[in-house]
Structure 1
C-alpha cells in the first residue's frame, strides 16, 4: 500500500479547521542586532554551529541596573540514535548525529506560517561545506514571541474581593534539522519569570524494513502490513557551560526527602531538602530520581541574595531513559555519555563533545575518560552535561509520518532573584480586574 503522506495522496482533508491569526500590530517586543537578541530583560546570542546545530550563548538578565550572567554557552554536544534490532541490516545502525553527521549542516530554511507562526524575525546561518567554501542558509533560526497562558493569578476573596492575573509570554529561538529520515526541531524558550527551557521536537519518518507475511517482529512494531519499524532510542546530550553571576560556581544535588517518624517528626509529615555537594569529578556522574524530585542547583557561593543564601539556578532534568545497549557492547563504549543523566566536569576548552571530537574513529573517548582526571569542582568554572531523550517503541500512529514527540529540560532560578521577578508585568491590555475575574455568587445550601 502507499506510504505517501502529501495532501494529494491523502485525499479528502478535514474542512472544519478555521484560521488562527496571530498579530502584533506594534511589532515584536524583542530587538535583534546581528546575532544578539534582547527581549524584556534577557540578552543572548544565537547561531548555528556546524557540529552542534543551534547554539545559545552569553545569556544574561538585566536585574535592577545589573547585567547578571547566567549561562556562557549551551549546545547539543552529541546525540546518538541506536537501533535495537539484531538483524544484519540494523544491528550496526547507531548514528552519532552531531559528531558523525554534523547537526549544523542539516539545518533547513524556515517558512512563515509553516514552521513559525506570528510576528517572525529570522537569522541566517553561514556554514562551510566539505571543501571549505562558505554558503548561506537563509532563515535558519526563527525568533518570535508566544502567549503562554497564565503567568500568575490569585483571586483575593477574603479581603479585597478582586483578582490579579498576568499573562505569560515567552521568547522562542528555534531551528529545524533534517537528518536522514528524521526531523529534529530545537526550541529554546525564555520566560518572564526568569525560566529557561529547552525542547526537542521529534518528527519525520520512522526507519522500516520488510518482513514476511504473517511474521511478528521481535524487536519492533508492525506499522503497516509486512512493514516493521524497529525499536530504537533518541538520546541527546546538552552541554551547559554555566556562569551563574560569574564563572565560579558549585553544583549541588537536591532531593526532597520524607523523614521517618520520631521525636522531631511525631506526625510523620516532615519533608526536607537533602543537599549533596558535587565536589570532585569522581562523583560527577549522576542519575535522575523521580521519587525524590531530584534537581541540580548551580550555585555561586560568592554571591548571596538578601536572605543570605548563594544565588543559584537549578537544572530540572528530563526524567527519561539512558542507553539500553549492554555495557560491554561497542556502542556503550563509544556512547558512554548516554549511560548517565548528568555529568559534571571542570571547564576545559578541549572538552566540547561528549563522545569525543571524532566518535567514528575511536573505540571509546569523551566524558568517561575526562572525569578520571578527578578535578576539583568547588567554586570554579563547571560544565553540566545532561543526557535526555526517549526509547521509541513505534506505533502504527507513527506511520507514514510521525507526529511530534517532545523531550527537554528547564533551568529555573532558585534564589537568583530576591522575589518574583515578574511582579512588574502589566495586567492584560484593556482588561481591569473586574474583566479578568467574575466574582461567583455564593451557592446556597440545599433547601435554601
Structure 2
C-alpha cells in the first residue's frame, strides 16, 4: 500500500494514543447552487466540492475530533435524471460519505446535497451485520507502530534472530470474516511481516513466515499472535531496480517513436470525449477508479447509446494456502482498499506513448481535504493492425484498411500488485476491457513439497491465488429496454437432417428473470451472451444487439461453504443480470470489509425481477487463476485478462467501409 504518514490521526484515542482533532471549519457552507448551474450530473467531484462537503458535514454536527473520512464520493443521480438532463439544467450535486470515529469504531453512511446544503440521510452502520468501512491509508501506517510495540510480536521476531526492527516491514492485510471468537464487530487487520536487508532492499524477497499478528485498529493493540512455526527467512535479494542485481542493460533495442504530425484524433471538453464516431464521459470514483459514462456511437445521423456506465465494481484475490498462518488471505481490492485511492500518476513515455491527454483525479483524504493525483487517467489512440483486407481473385481489387483504437487507461498499486485498467474503443464499434496485472508476487517461505505454492527463488515461495474482477455494465443498447439471450453452439447428431455429420448450429435461451440470470461461461459450447433491444430492429428485422464475449476462465475455486464464497458470491458465476436499481452499485455490497457475507448480488437477485425487455445491468466476472512461475520473480511481466463487447446486428453493414486507405509508409528504409 501507499502509506501517507502525514494523514495519520494524532490527539487522544481510546488507549490514549495521539489522534489529531479535525479542525473546526470557518469555510463557506452556503448552498452551492450558484456553482452547479452548468455542471453535468456526472462531472467528477472538484477540490472545492470536497471542501464544501467537509464543511457541510461539520456544520451539521457530523464531524467530531476523531472522525475520519473512510470514503467521500459523488452520489450519482438516477439514470432517468441523467438521461433527461439538458445543458443549463440545474443539477443537484450530492455526495456519499462513510465516516468513521477512530476512537469508538462507530461509523455512519451519510448522503448530502451540496446544491441545497442539506443532509438527506444518516445511517449508523452495525459492524457485525453491515461490515466495516474501507481501510484507510493512515491505518496502514499505524499498524507499524502497533505491532512493533507488542511484546509478543517482538519476542516472535527475536525467536527468528531478528533484532533490528527498523528493517522489519509489517504488511497490514484485510482480516475477512471467519466467525472467530471475539472478532465479530471489531475493526481488524491481520499482519504478516517481511525483512529488508537495508532501507532500499525490496522486502518481498524475505518473508518472515510462520507468524501473524491480529490487530484491533480501534484499541490499537495486537489481540492475538499466531506463532505457528519457525521457518528460514529467504536470503537471496530480489532488487529488480538495482543494476548490481539485474546486470548491465541490453543495448540492442532501437527507438520506436509514436508520432501524429497533425495531432490526436480525439477532442476533450471537460469530461466529455469525442473520437471518430464515439462519444463518452470520463469518470473517476474513489472506490472503483476509472469509470466510463454514456458511451454512444454515431450511425445514420444519430448518436446511438450502447453503455450507460462501465466500471470494475469489485475485484477479489483469494489465496489457496489453508494453513493456520494464511487461511484468511482474501482481499477485496475495491471494497476494502479502494482502487481509486491507490491510483498512480502516469509518466509520459513509460505508461503511455504517443499524443497523450491526461485527466487528474481529486480524492478526499482521511481528514476530508482534497488530494490531487496528477495524470491519473491517460487518453490516447494507437494503431491496432489490420481492420479488414481482401485481394479479389476475379476483379483484381486489393484493399486493406488499418484498425485504430482509443485507449482510456489507469494504473493502481494495491500492496505488492499493480493493475492497469485499459478500456479500448475500436472503429468497428467494439468495446474491450483489458486488465494488466504486474508488480511483485506475494511471497512466503517455501517448504519442499508444498502443494499450494511455487518456489520462485531458493527457499522463496509464491502461493497460488486468483485475481477475479467484476465488471458492472449498465447496458443501454439503443435505449434502456434490453434483453439477454445465452447463445450456445449445438452439434447436430447424424440423422436424416444431417446424414454426413457435418452440421452444427446455434441455440438461444432468453433469460427472463433474475433467477435465470446467474450464468457460467462454457468454452466448449462457445457460449456468449447477446444483449439486444427488442424494440429496435435493424434493416433485416432483427433486434439490434451487442455480444458479450467472455474469456471463459475459472471462477471462484473456494468451497461453496467457505467464508470467501459467502462474501464473494459474485465470483461464483461468470455472469449476473439484474434489473437496474440506482441503490445496487457493488457486487459484494456496500461495506465489504469484514462483512459476514450474503450482500450484493445474492441479495439483489432475491427479488427475482423480470429482466426481459427491461432496464438491466450485466455483472461479468473475469480474471485469472495464478500459479506463479520463476519467470515472474522478482518482478512480474504483465499478465492479461478481460472481455469484449462486440456489435451483433447493431449496424446494418460493416460500419468501417468509409475508413480510408493508409497513405504513410512508416518505414525509414522502404
TM range (shorter): over 0.9
Note if 1:348 corresponds to 2:584: no
The within-5 A match list for 1:312-323 is: 312-323=545-556
Partner deviation per Cα, 1:39-87 (whole Å, 9 max, x = no partner): 0000011122111111111000011111100000011111100111122
TM-score by length of 2: 0.63
Match of 1:153 among 363, 386, 389: 389
For the residue of structure 2 that corresponds to 1:144, the secondary structure is: strand
Give the Å deviation of 1:430.
4.7
Aligned partners of 1:401, 1:126: CA distance in 2, in Å? 30
Give the SS at the match of 1:160: coil
Q: Does 1:201 align with 2:427?
A: no
Report the secondary structure of 2:341's partner residue. helix
Q: Which residue of 1 aligns with 2:302?
A: 66
Q: Which has the higher contact order (CA 8 A, sep 6+)?
A: 1
Alignment partner of 2:553: what SS? coil
Aligned to 2:341: 105
For residues 206 and 141 of structure 1, the distance between their equivalents in structure 2, rounded to whole angstroms, comes to: 25
Higher strand share: 1
**For residues 166-315 of structure 1, what are the structure 2 equivalents within 5 Å?**
166-211=401-446, 215-315=448-548
Match of 1:50 in 2: 286
Question: CA RMSD of the aligned region, Å?
Answer: 1.1
Deviations 1:197-240 (A, max 9, x none): 0000000000001246xx33221010000101111110000000
Structure 1 position 424, deviation (Å): 0.3
The equivalent residue for 1:162 is: 397
| Corresponding residue SS for 2:481 | coil
Contact 2:446 2:455 in 1 (8 A): no
TM superposition shift of 1:11 = 2.0
Is the aligned partner of 1:144 residue 2:380?
Answer: yes
**Residue matched to 2:267:** 31
Structure 1 distance, partners of 2:540, 2:242, is 59
| Cα offset, 1:185, TM superposition | 0.1
| Selected match of 1:11 from 236, 244, 247 | 247
- CA distance in structure 1 between the partners assigned to 2:533 and 2:352 by the alignment: 37
Paired with 2:445 and 2:594, the residues of 1 have a C-alpha distance of 32
CA distance in 2, matches of 1:327, 1:166: 49
C-alpha separation in 2, matches of 1:362 and 1:210: 30
Displacement after TM superposition at 1:262 (Å): 2.0
Once the two structures are superposed, the pairs formed by residues 429-444 of structure 1 within 5 Å of their partners are: 429-430=663-664
CA–CA separation in structure 2 for the residues paired with 1:22 and 1:249: 40
Contact 2:474 2:618 in 1 (8 A): yes
- The answer to whether the Cα contact below 8 Å between 2:511 and 2:611 also exists between their aligned partners in 1 is yes
Q: Equivalent of 1:410, from 639, 644, 649? A: 644
- Residue matched to 2:86: none
Do 1:73 and 1:242's aligned partners in 2 also have CA atoms closer than 8 Å? Answer: yes
Distance 1:318 1:54 in 2: 22
Unaligned runs of 5+ in 1: 432-448
Cα distance, 1:7–1:63 mapped onto 2, change above 3 Å? farther
2:288, 2:311 within 8 Å by CA — same for their partners in 1? yes
Partner SS state of residue 360, structure 1: coil
Is contact 2:478–2:536 with CA below 8 Å preserved after alignment?
Answer: yes
Q: Deviations over 1:245-286 (max 9, x none)?
A: 000000111112121122222222222220000000111110
- Superposition TM-score, scaled by structure 1 size: 0.94
For 1:193 and 1:63, how far apart are their aligned partners in 2? 11
- 2:601 maps to which of 346, 364, 367: 367
Q: How many angstroms does 1:131 deviate by?
A: 2.1
Contact between 1:234 and 1:391, CA under 8 Å: does it hold in 2?
Answer: yes
- Alpha-carbon distance change, 163 to 338 in structure 1, aligned in 2, over 3 angstroms: same
Given that 1:176 and 1:183 are in contact with CA atoms closer than 8 Å, whether structure 2 keeps it comes out as: yes
Q: Which runs of 4+ in 1 moved over 6 A?
A: none
SS at match of 2:602: helix
Q: 2:323 aligns with which of 69, 87, 90?
A: 87
Give the aligned partner of residue 437 of structure 1: none
CA distance in 1, matches of 2:432, 2:289: 17
- 1:339 match: 572
- Any idea what SS the aligned residue of 1:368 has? helix
* Per-residue deviation, residues 65-113 of structure 1 (Å, max 9, x unmatched): 1110000001111110011112233211101000010000001110111
State the distance in 2 between where 1:276 and 1:103 align. Answer: 36
Structure 2 residues without counterparts, runs of 5 or longer: 1-235, 666-670
Contact 1:47 1:125 in 2 (8 A): no
- In the alignment, the residues of structure 2 paired with residue 414 and residue 236 of structure 1 have an alpha-carbon distance, to the nearest angstrom, of 25
Comparing 411-420 with 352-361, which one deviates more in the overlay?
352-361
